[in-house]
Amino acid sequence: MNRMRKEEEFNDWYNNIVEEAGLVDKRYPVKGMNVWLPYGWKAMRLIDALIRREMERTEHDEVCFPLLIPKTEFDKEAEHIAGFGAEVYWVTHAGNNELDVPLLLRPTSETAMYPMFSLWVRSHTDLPLKTFQLVNTFRYETKQTKAFIRMREIHFFEAHTCHVDFEDAERQIAEDLEIMKHFAKDLCIPYLLTKRPDWDKFAGAYYTVGLDTIMPTGRTLQLGSIHQYKTNFAVPYNITYENEGGEQVHAHQTTYGMSERLLGTVVGIHGDEKGIIFPPSIAPIQAVIVPILSKGNQEHVMEEARKLEEELKAEGIRVHLDDRDFRPGYKYNDWELRGVPLRLEIGMRDIEGGHVMAACRVQGKKILVKREGAGEQIKLIFQEQQEILWQKARSILEESIRTIEDYNQYEEGTIAKAGWCGEEECGHTIEDFTGAAILGTPVPEEETPEGTRCCVCGAHAPSWIYIAKTH
RNA sequence: GGGCCCGUGGGUUAGUUUGGUCUAUACUUGUGGCUUUGGGAGCCAUAGACUCCGGUUCAAAUCCGGGCGGGCCCA
């Protein structure tokens, strides 16, 4: 492909890069279902590993529920059905038989898990119950699909918890927010936390906290969400426990969901006209070694390159030796496209000088690294890269937020922050007029200064809202 | 839900308006070889396609109908 100006042609750039860098093969003949290629899957698995690390740290247990859910279970929570009914895939036949009870492919796993939670949760000593799973979910998306960002089969993370009461569930949500903090820093993805307006909360939730980031298009993209269910599901699914007083009480529940969108976001936010830029934290290959061969020294250089590879591997660096029969320039471009954070060139000059040439994808510069203790120096470069990517992305998000006083001041490509009286009608007016969506009110809650007015009706505005065009 | 468009080697594409000269164009990629290697090398050889089914016609990549697949716009 010709170099594409990422800023001007983001859609083309993105669609092209995910295939060209070998993340997915979009030719699978079902809309919204792509094939994960090894390189893309590796990146996803590394993101998953970060999630697992956080889940383990916070004592969640990993589970894995079946993909199929009986219609009878799905039907138990009315709002949930209303919200997801239109995008469910159904299994109505098995072999030659029509099924008495149709089965659906999970669009999310509440209705699969909660009948089981009802069996598992008996006593207050069983609580809190903190589980999560990493599975694929299915949603019959009718809009245009896009690799990682809008799919019909979604690689999905979902944590589901049960608690003794509302307060404990709230503590869980606080913990979820803290998890996100770590996690986003690792991915170098900044985000905005908002409590979704009532008309946009998750189907069945008491309230929903949305995690949104901003893409280079100036539109926001939801990275994940955290839901307080209160007892909305526990009642229909009969999740009760016996408290210390011997009474049967409904559990309070929360969920936390994220998806392969995280990968799409990393690609979209950090990439440049040369291709992807992976933060070292999730780069499938953190450092690639390109041997510079010339007549007469091939074996010697290759031997040194292999030695270097072993040394770095021993240091825990994900390193790859590119011994393909291409010229160096071709390899440079290839690995830049794939987003490898560090390229190590080793030729006779370097061997004789006791160093390697390190080309840093993020910093865009080349530096000489001493062979002695190279691993340590490389890790420092990685740290610096994480920091640069994080700061850069964060300032883009911060700079795109504009405070406005009247909703007709909303500018495309920005996230507007405005006063809001809290009336749903004013919310809809904003959405209809601007074509943008109301992300929600700030989390944690943020008081408005004296005299702040609703950007629609001019009444007293007790809270802020964020307004943005979304993906 | 409504409307529109598209389907040619692995990828991008010419050809479709006006059926025949298509034994299908070009670039890229793949494979084998020679040569080369500090920023996408060159040469030689070679492989590879008209989405499927039906219709019209002496003749279909081209026209018509349907299926499947893909894309776009509006609500």
Through-space separation of residue A139 CA and nucleotide B34 C1' in angstroms:
54
CB neighbourhood size of A143 (10 A): 7
A337 touches strand B (CB under 7 A): yes
Q: What HEC string does A208-220 produce?
A: EEEEEEECCCCCE
Q: Which of A26-30, A222-226, A345-349, A455-459 has the lowest mean pLDDT?
A: A26-30
State pLDDT tens for residues A248-277: 999 999 999 999 999 999 999 999 999 999
Through-space separation of residue A27 CA and nucleotide B59 C1' in angstroms:
35
A329 touches strand B (CB under 7 A): yes
**In the predicted model, what is the mean pLDDT of chain A?**
94
Domains of chain A: 10-270 (3.30.930.10), 287-381 (3.40.50.800), 401-468 (3.30.110.30)
pLDDT greater than 60 at residue A55: yes
Residue A98: predicted pLDDT: 87
Region A328-356: mean pLDDT is: 97
- Strand B contact nucleotides, protein CB < 7 Å: 1, 10-11, 35-41, 68-73, 75
Residue A8: predicted pLDDT: 61
Q: What are phi and psi of A171, to 5 degrees?
A: -65, -35
A332 touches strand B (CB under 7 A): yes
pLDDT greater than 80 at residue A7: no
A346 touches strand B (CB under 7 A): yes
Angle, CA of A244, A247 and A251, to the nearest 5°: 85
**In chain A, pLDDT over 90 holds for what percent of residues?**
83
- Asked if A214 and A397 count as a contact pair (C-beta separation under 8 A), the reply is yes
A5 touches strand B (CB under 7 A): no
State pLDDT tens for residues A119-137: 999 999 999 999 999 999 9
Residue A140: predicted pLDDT: 87
Through-space separation of residue A206 CA and nucleotide B37 C1' in angstroms:
64
State pLDDT tens for residues A271-310: 999 999 999 999 999 999 999 999 989 999 999 999 999 9
Which nt sits closest to A332, CA to C1'?
B39
pLDDT greater than 80 at residue A22: yes
A102 touches strand B (CB under 7 A): no
Whole-complex ipTM: 0.89
Q: Is the peptide bond between A190 and the residue preceding it cis, with omega within 30 degrees of 0? A: no
DSSP H helical segments within A92-222, as ranges?
A: 110-120, 166-187
Confidence band of A189 (pLDDT split at 50, 70, 90): very high
Through-space separation of residue A38 CA and nucleotide B11 C1' in angstroms:
19
Which residues in chain A, range 359-378, keep a C-beta under 7 Å from any nucleic strand B atom?
A: 359, 366
Through-space separation of residue A27 CA and nucleotide B63 C1' in angstroms:
30
Confidence band of A2 (pLDDT split at 50, 70, 90): very low
Region A146-152: mean pLDDT is: 91
